[in-house]
Structure 1
Amino acid sequence: MDLADRGDRQMTYMMDLNADLGEGYGIWRLGDDLALLDLVTSANVACGFHAGDPLIIRRTCAAAVDRGVAIGAQVSYRDLAGFGRREMEVDPEELCSDVLYQLAALDGMARSMGGRVSYVKPHGALYNRACRDEEQAEAVVAAVTSFAPAASPLPILTLPGSALTRMAARHGVPTVAECFADRAYTPEGTLVPRRRPGAVLHDPEEVAARAVRMAVEGVVTTIEGGEVRVGARSVCVHGDTPGSVRIATAVRRALIDAGIVVGSFT
């Protein structure tokens, strides 16, 4: 069941604003997490497999709790060197175990800071693979169902109409449809690969205008100039994009100016 497909007019004009956070490692820092946490309503916190170390995870969770921002587990392939953006062939049982490990680690850290993990979002290559590969998608869903009881399942952020949406529905796991303000779309409604020119958008006003249109009209202009439907309940801005704070500020302001309530789906 997709929480964006309930037919509720209020849901159409409410939008969660999420960002990938806690993506530093050791002495390496990426993005301005504290500034973004003042803007977003949901934080996709790296769990250590593509980025994030125990100290960064702890501090990110503490800052999210202090601001009332929902904490999500940003699970990924085990790929620190490639920042989780290299597609990998992983046995489904191993992938399920990897995702479960990340979920448990982040939730333990979040609870020690007075919060909890309230949703799951795959990262990078795993996100894209789970959108089209039912075997990989089912492994992610299996980890989520192993971690969270059926009485209070964790929702999964994913593209509408994805394989992950279908597999989650099969196992009774809720999904939240997500759109990307700062990424280009293909005519099929998937994300343009980052290696292609124009895949990532950097102009704050352009990104903000796209976010409002996706929230109000449920459509976005594709990289080829056409339109594709992207009905969603959450919009993502990437924390590692240069100028991410300016972009997130513009998106939040534009959504509010358009009469959209910016609030977490959790």
Structure 2
Amino acid sequence: MDLNSDLAESFGRWELGDDEALLSIVTSANVACGFHAGDSSVIRRAVERAAERGVAVGAQVSYRDLAGFGRRFVDVPPGELTDDVIYQIGALAGFAKVAGTEVRYVKPHGALYNAIVTHAEQAAALVNAVRAYDPGLAVLGLPGSQWLEQAERAGLTVHREAFADRAYTPQGTLVSRREPGAVLHDPAEIAERCLRLAAGEPIRAVDGSEIRVEAESICVHGDSPAAVAIAEAVRDRLVADGVRLAPFAPGAR
């Protein structure tokens, strides 16, 4: 099982998350590319630390929305969205090259991630961006999303993810952050749920029903107050039960 986390989300004097600590825990790093968070120095530092520790680097692409942290839907024309995604991947790839590593996958962020679960046009724009930039890149997203379905039809390597600390609807989508109970906080409870995810067992949705979420990667968010404690609890619980942790997109292509 892979553990991924969102990194490089500080900006200037505004600090968010503990990248150093998380990079000692996770196996894949979703690195902000400057559109929702991250400045050039923050991004470069995160990529360098990931390279030093053998953590796979992924481009966490977003709407152009620094003020909203990429958590607001933007009705951007598909061609413009494709160009924005290519721009972001390319920027991150430059820092990866300098650090002696490479971008291995693409994962959308925030509102864009949620939009392309059902928004076919924007999902196609992202698929077009990845195919144009490098069809050898893997893509990461929500099982059953338009994003992954279209990417797979386009011949891209698809990987599914689950969320350690987010509540699910009975349909297997994420509960909106605007809703109560959308984010989980108890490290022990989260770790136990992740063990069930890794074993392919059902987890409880927000309405109490049980759902199955098939995934090759588990996301532990880096921007919550207990992010490091949660990531450590998840890692320790999985390892103690014999689950091997490794990047889903290892090595050079």
TM-score, with length taken from structure 2: 0.97
Give the ranges of 4+ consecutive aligned residues of structure 1 lying more than 4 Å apart after TM superposition: none
The CA deviation at 1:34 is 0.3
1:7 corresponds to: none
1:148 aligns with 2:134: yes
Asked whether the 8 Å contact 1:218–1:232 carries over to 2, the reply is no
When residues 197 and 67 of structure 1 are mapped into structure 2, their CA distance, relative to the original with a 3 A threshold, is same
The CA deviation at 1:215 is 0.7
1:90 aligns with 2:76: yes
Gaps of 5+ in 1: 1-14
| Among 211, 216, 221, the residue aligned to 1:238 | 221
The CA deviation at 1:134 is 1.0
User: Where do 1:140-179 residues align within 5 Å?
Assistant: 140-149=126-135, 153-179=136-162
State the one-letter code of the partner of 1:234. Answer: S
| Among 174, 180, 205, the residue aligned to 1:222 | 205
Deviation by residue 1:13-39 (Cα, 9 ceiling, x = unmatched): xx1000000000011110100000000
Overall identity of the aligned pairs, in %: 57
The CA deviation at 1:248 is 0.1
Supply the distance in 2 between the matched residues of 1:166 and 1:40 (Cα, whole angstroms). 26
| Among 26, 42, 54, the residue aligned to 1:40 | 26
2:59 corresponds to: 73
1:204 aligns with 2:190: no
Asked whether the 8 Å contact 1:157–1:177 carries over to 2, the reply is yes
1:19 corresponds to: 5
| Among 109, 113, 118, the residue aligned to 2:99 | 113
Deviation by residue 1:141-176 (Cα, 9 ceiling, x = unmatched): 110001104xxx111111111111111012111110
The CA deviation at 1:217 is 2.5
Deviation by residue 1:89-116 (Cα, 9 ceiling, x = unmatched): 0100000000000000001111111111
Tell me which of the two structures has the higher relative contact order, counting C-alpha pairs closer than 8 angstroms and 6 or more residues apart.
Answer: 1
The CA deviation at 1:62 is 0.4
Supply the distance in 2 between the matched residues of 1:127 and 1:170 (Cα, whole angstroms). 19
Q: Number of residues paired by the alignment?
A: 249
Tell me the secondary structure at the aligned position of residue 131 of structure 1.
coil
State the one-letter code of the partner of 1:235. Answer: I
The CA deviation at 1:242 is 1.1
The CA deviation at 1:124 is 0.2
When residues 92 and 218 of structure 1 are mapped into structure 2, their CA distance, relative to the original with a 3 A threshold, is farther
State the one-letter code of the partner of 1:23. Answer: E
Tell me the secondary structure at the aligned position of residue 166 of structure 1.
helix
Supply the distance in 2 between the matched residues of 1:66 and 1:218 (Cα, whole angstroms). 34
1:12 corresponds to: none
| Among 79, 88, 102, the residue aligned to 1:102 | 88
CA RMSD of aligned residues (A): 0.7
Gaps of 5+ in 2: none
Tell me the secondary structure at the aligned position of residue 6 of structure 2.
strand
2:38 corresponds to: 52
1:134 aligns with 2:120: yes
Deviation by residue 1:227-247 (Cα, 9 ceiling, x = unmatched): 111010000010001110000
Supply the distance in 1 between the matched residues of 2:202 and 2:161 (Cα, whole angstroms). 12
